[in-house]
Amino acid sequence: MMNETSKPLNFIEKIIAEDLESGKITQVKTRFPPEPNGYLHIGHAKSIVLNFGLAKRFGGSCNLRFDDTNPEKEDVEYVASIKEDVRWLGFQWHGDVRFTSGYFDQLHEWAIYLIKEGKAYVCDLSQEEAREYRGTLTEAGKNSPYRERSIDENLQLFEKMRLGEFDEGACSLRVKIDMAHPNMQMRDPVIYRIKKQAHHQTGDKWCIYPSYDFAHGQGDAIEGITHSICTLEFEEHRPLYDWFIENLPVPSTPHQYEFSRLNVNYTVTSKRKLKQLVDENHVDGWDDPRMPTISGMRRRGFTPQAIREFCDMAGVTRTDGVVDVSMLEFAIREDLNANAVRAMCVLRPLKVVLTNYPEDKTETMMAPGHPQRDDLGTRALPFSREIFIDQDDFREAANKKYKRLVIGKRVRLRNAYVIEADEAIKNEQGKIIEVHARVIEDTVGKNPADGIKPKGVIHWVSADMHVDCEVRLYDRLFTEEAPDAGGKDFLESINPDSLEIVTGCKGEVTLANARLTDHFQFEREGYFILDSSYSEPDQPVFNRTIGLRDSWNNNPALK
Query: Which residues form the catalytic set?
Result: 35, 261, 271
Euclidean distance between CA atoms 94 and 32, whole angstroms: 11
Choose among 299, 295, 289: nearest CA to 77. Answer: 295
CA within 13 Å, CB half, 299? 23
What kind and span of H or E run contains 477?
Answer: none
CB 19 within 8 A of CB 27: no
State the CB neighbour count (10 A cutoff) for residue 238: 18
DSSP state of 481: S
**Residues whose CB falls within 8 Å of the CB of residue 159, separated by 6 or more in sequence, listed in order:** none
Choose among 13, 97, 94, 93: nearest CA to 48. Answer: 93
Between the two ends of the chain, the Cα-to-Cα distance in Å is 52
CA within 13 Å, CB half, 532? 16
Residues in the chain: 559
**Residues whose CB falls within 8 Å of the CB of residue 303, separated by 6 or more in sequence, listed in order:** 332, 335, 336, 339, 519
Euclidean distance between CA atoms 296 and 284, whole angstroms: 10
CB 458 within 8 A of CB 403: no
CB 8 within 8 A of CB 223: no
CB 113 within 8 A of CB 248: yes
Choose among 292, 294, 227: nearest CA to 91. Answer: 294
Choose among 469, 511, 439, 429: nearest CA to 349. Answer: 469
Euclidean distance between CA atoms 403 and 455, whole angstroms: 5
State the CB neighbour count (10 A cutoff) for residue 267: 23
